[in-house]
């Protein structure tokens, strides 16, 4: 049933879609969306609850794994700690038990040139090193021989445990007795002060008032065993509070790593051992990629270790950005689980405290493997939801096909106005710029008709303005030529006068006259060429753009007519009709979408032509030498438009003009000439991809403008000559040397000054200062 046309204009989209959207789509969409939303909400709530339960179960399993394995390691470390405690107690007894060393034992000792009393490397038994910081006398020797009693115990402790690497006793006066033996003079610094090392001071009264066994952080062993951690205990004599020394059992980091690697962990996870300060004690190879670290197990002993050397900060969980959450969890709880992102992959880390050592066992697992079952459940639920949504989309697609056929009737309303638009475009293309407008109730087509009518008027006006601009350009060329000829006559007269004054230089003056005539002609042609080429190029670009758009519009209108004719000739009732109408509709939408853009681009081209012609009209007043109120900013902007072609392919122009700049009394045409000379000079100094910066400002008594470039710069020896007539640094035939000289004369006539600063290879900056003494401000 045909609908009665509305009396007011309507949007094309509303005409085509409002009928079936209101009567069919909206009710069905609301019903379907309500049903689907209810199903999906229920389904996702159940799914999320199941997944959350499975994830909590996996996390608890991971945490339980960390607790179990930490208990295993704790039992091993407790065993070492108990041996250390026993070791310290037996050393205390040895202090109180008299002992006479054998002659063989005493023969093992020697005094080095550096004052170190030590055991020789070629003897058997525990090694002893008495630092040179303690003068060794009879008492010191007797103490060393008395501690020979603990040698069998140290040997037994080392061989009875797979973890213990070496056993030692360090006294308060820097005597060290250690097993297994080695060349202590070669390994230790001769002035070793044992109080400076953590394996001594962490067990003293200040750090360990309870006198219990403590574990050190990982450090470089000065005895040459590489990276170590030690179980240490203080040694006091009976009924005494004086710390005689510290007994310790060393565990190499490589041995701790082997213990961690021996752990059997699910989900392809791995374990880390972390000390109380947050430093990673042991890290398997599987963890190196995640933590971006390489485990340190060996050390190159190029020099003796004279102070504590701990693992780098990169091994400290408390100081890494990617483990902040883990560090906070360890600080607040003995065990727990936290999510991390390591090397761009999501991980779960569970930790548990190892009693006694105050260490933590950290188990790290990949979330994808840990949550594999939960993720599989989520994927299955998502597949069901996607299937339902796809079914709904298929239904709507079939329904849209039906509604498209209904919309064909509405599309016929477009044919009449489109024919009118074709006639308007054809008329404009043939030079009839004021065609009969199209009357239609469709907003977009009515706007296109109005736009075409305005475009015709604008093009007609632009043609007239362009013709006038060409005439003004011809007159300007004549004026410039007359000025150059007048200057040439002056130069010739000057040469004649010089000839009378210096008859002995007749030949040189004759050559100078010929050269000057050629230079003046080059300057004249260069100025005319810059102006004419720039204006012609800048006007030609938008004209070509408008012409191309009108040509495309001429192609579109016949296409629209053919689309209408094809739609009218189709016989109803067949599949072919349906397909042809769809193709016609798609072609029509494509053309109508492009028409608006083409018209907008054409209007932008016309605006550019008008801007160029207006600037050219103002610049063409160069023959006017009357003093008048002058807007310096306006002169700069007008000149930049005229000489745009000179710099557009070489440099980017940046302007920073003071909007509060007052008007001054000047000759605008002459100021334009100065600005043009400076801009062209800057453009010629730039090879490519440079920058020209133009600024204006004011002081209390002057107005100032600067033209700066990033070009090749001016050599220091040429700076004092650049304003001299006929001086140029350009190649012969590329410049006359008059541009800057003329600019200097104009500025001097205006009671101003022109200055230049230049750095060779970096650029130049010309600064022009004009007085405000004759300033004229516009009335309010």
Q: Residue 228, SS3?
A: strand
Query: Taking 70 as the threshold, does the pLDDT of residue 751 lie above it?
Result: yes
Span 86-104, pLDDT tens digits: 999 999 888 888 888 888 8
pLDDT band at 676; cut points 50, 70, 90 = confident
Unique residue bearing structure tokens 């720039």: 534
Which candidate, 164, 172, 174, places its Cα nearest to that of 229? 164
In which band, very low, low, confident or very high, does the pLDDT at 757 lie, cut at 50, 70 and 90? very high
Question: Quick one: tokens of 623?
Answer: 């023959």
220 compared with 125, residue with greater pLDDT: 125
pTM score? 0.39
For the cut 60, the answer to whether the pLDDT of residue 305 exceeds it is no
Residue 688: exposure state from Cβ atoms within 10 A (0-12, 13-18, ≥19): exposed
Q: Which long-range contacts (CB under 8 A, 24 or more apart) does 215-218 make?
A: 215/77, 215/81, 215/275, 215/276, 215/357, 215/358, 215/359, 217/275, 217/276, 217/277, 217/279, 217/310, 217/311, 218/253, 218/275, 218/279, 218/281, 218/310, 218/311, 218/315
Which range has the top average pLDDT, 178-182, 566-570, 572-576?
178-182
Count other Cβ atoms within 10 Å, centred on residue 540.
Answer: 11
Q: Which of 18-27, 248-257, 259-268, 547-556 has the lowest mean pLDDT?
A: 259-268
pLDDT at 517: 42
Kind plus residue range of the DSSP H or E element containing 305: none
List, in sequence order, every residue forming a beta bridge with 690; answer none if it has no partner.
Answer: 651
Residues in a beta bridge with 763: 759
- Using CA atoms, how far apart are residues 542 and 538, in angstroms rounded to an integer? 7
The confidence score (pLDDT) of residue 540 equals: 59
**478 SS3 class:** helix
d(CA 284, CA 271): 7
Of 685, 688, 675, 766, nearest in space to 729 by CA: 685
| Mean pLDDT score across all residues of the chain | 76
Q: How much is the pLDDT for 182?
A: 87
pLDDT tops 60 at residue 556:
yes
Average pLDDT over residues 144-168: 88
Give, in order, the Cα–Cα distances in Å from 753 to each of 31, 660, 709. Answer: 82, 22, 19
The helix/strand/coil state of 41 is helix
More confident call, 706 vs 395: 706
Pick the more confident residue, 625 or 251.
251
User: Among all chains, which residue has been given the structure tokens 């006068």?
Assistant: 497
* Nearest Cα to Cα of residue 763 among 689, 696, 690, 705: 690
Average pLDDT of 572-587? 61
What proportion of the chain, given as a percentage, has pLDDT over 70? 69
pLDDT at 618 over 80: no
Q: In percent, how much of the chain has pLDDT > 90? A: 15
**Which is higher by pLDDT, 661 or 539?**
661
Mean pLDDT: which of 370-379, 491-500, 740-749 is highest? 740-749
Distances (CA, A) of 143 to 91, 146, 234, 247: 12, 5, 17, 15
> Cα(673)–Cα(642) distance, rounded to whole angstroms?
11
pLDDT score at 535: 59
> Per mean pLDDT, which range of 49-53, 250-254, 267-271, 660-664 is the poorest?
49-53
């Amino acid at each position: 049933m045909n609908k009665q046309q509305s009396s007011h204009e309507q949007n094309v989209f509303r005409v085509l879609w409002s009928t079936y959207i209101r009567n069919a789509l909206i009710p069905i969409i609301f019903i379907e969306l309500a049903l689907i939303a209810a199903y999906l909400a229920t389904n996702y709530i159940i799914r999320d609850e199941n997944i959350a339960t499975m994830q909590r179960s996996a996390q608890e399993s991971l945490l339980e794994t960390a607790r179990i394995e930490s208990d295993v390691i704790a039992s091993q470390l407790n065993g070492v700690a108990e041996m250390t405690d026993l070791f310290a107690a037996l050393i205390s007894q040895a202090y109180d038990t008299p002992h006479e060393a054998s002659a063989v034992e005493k023969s093992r000792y020697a005094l080095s040139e550096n004052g170190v009393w030590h055991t020789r490397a070629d003897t058997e038994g525990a090694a002893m090193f008495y630092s040179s910081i303690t003068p060794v006398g009879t008492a010191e020797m007797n103490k060393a021989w008395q501690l020979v009693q603990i040698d069998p115990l140290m040997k037994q402790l080392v061989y009875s445990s797979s973890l213990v690497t070496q056993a030692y006793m360090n006294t308060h006066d820097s005597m060290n007795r250690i097993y297994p033996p080695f060349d202590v003079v070669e390994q230790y610094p001769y002035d070793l002060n044992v109080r400076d090392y953590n394996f001594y001071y962490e067990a003293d009264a200040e750090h360990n008032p309870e006198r219990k066994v403590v574990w050190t952080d990982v450090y470089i062993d000065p005895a040459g065993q590489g990276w170590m951690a030690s179980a240490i205990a203080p040694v006091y004599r009976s009924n005494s509070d004086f710390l005689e020394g510290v007994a310790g059992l060393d565990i190499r980091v490589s041995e701790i790593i082997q213990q961690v690697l021996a752990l059997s962990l699910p989900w392809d996870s791995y374990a880390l051992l972390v000390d109380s300060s947050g430093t990673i004690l042991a890290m398997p190879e599987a963890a190196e990629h995640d933590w971006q670290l390489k485990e340190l197990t060996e050390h190159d002993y190029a020099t003796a270790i004279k102070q504590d050397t701990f693992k780098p900060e990169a091994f400290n969980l408390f100081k890494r950005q990617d483990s902040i959450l883990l560090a906070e969890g360890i600080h607040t709880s003995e065990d727990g689980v936290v999510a991390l992102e390591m090397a761009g992959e999501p991980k779960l880390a569970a930790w548990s405290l190892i009693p006694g050592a105050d260490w933590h066992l950290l188990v790290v697992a990949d979330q994808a493997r840990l949550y594999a079952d939960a993720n599989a459940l989520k994927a299955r639920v998502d597949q069901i939801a996607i299937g339902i949504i796809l079914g709904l989309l298929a239904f709507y697609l079939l329904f849209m096909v039906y509604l498209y056929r209904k919309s064909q009737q509405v599309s016929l309303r477009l044919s009449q106005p489109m024919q009118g638009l074709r006639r308007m475009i054809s008329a404009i293309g043939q030079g009839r710029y004021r065609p009969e407008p199209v009357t239609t109730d469709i907003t977009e087509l009515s706007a296109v008709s109005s736009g075409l009518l305005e475009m015709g008027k604008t093009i007609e006006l632009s043609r007239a303005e362009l013709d006038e601009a060409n005439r003004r350009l011809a007159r300007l060329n004549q004026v410039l030529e007359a000025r150059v000829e007048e200057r040439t006559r002056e130069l010739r007269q000057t040469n004649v006068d010089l000839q009378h004054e210096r008859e002995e230089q007749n030949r040189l003056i004759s050559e100078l006259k010929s050269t000057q005539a050629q230079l003046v002609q080059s300057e004249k042609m260069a100025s005319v060429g810059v102006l004419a080429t720039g204006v012609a190029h800048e006007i030609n670009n938008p004209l070509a753009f408008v012409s191309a758009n009108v040509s495309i519009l001429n192609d579109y209108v016949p296409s629209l007519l053919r689309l209408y004719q094809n739609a009218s000739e189709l016989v109803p009732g067949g599949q072919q009709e349906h397909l042809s109408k769809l193709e016609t509709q798609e072609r029509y939408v494509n053309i109508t979408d492009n028409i608006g853009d083409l018209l907008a681009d054409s209007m932008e081209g016309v605006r550019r032509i008008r801007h160029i012609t207006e600037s050219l009209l103002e610049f063409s007043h160069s023959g006017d030498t009357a003093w008048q109120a002058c807007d310096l900013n306006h002169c700069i902007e007008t000149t930049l438009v005229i000489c745009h072609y000179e710099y557009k392919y070489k440099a980017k122009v940046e302007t920073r003009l003071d909007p509060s700049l007052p008007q001054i009394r000047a000759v605008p045409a002459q100021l334009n000439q100065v600005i043009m000379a400076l801009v062209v000079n800057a453009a010629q100094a730039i090879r490519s991809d440079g920058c020209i910066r133009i600024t204006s400002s004011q002081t209390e008594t002057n107005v100032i403008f600067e033209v700066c470039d990033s070009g090749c710069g001016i050599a220091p020896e040429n700076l004092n000559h650049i304003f001299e007539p006929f001086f140029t640094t350009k190649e012969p035939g590329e410049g006359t040397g008059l541009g800057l000289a003329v600019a200097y004369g104009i500025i001097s006539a205006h009671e101003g000054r022109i200055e230049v600063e230049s750095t060779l290879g970096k650029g130049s900056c010309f600064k022009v200062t004009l007085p405000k003494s004759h300033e004229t401000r516009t009335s309010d």
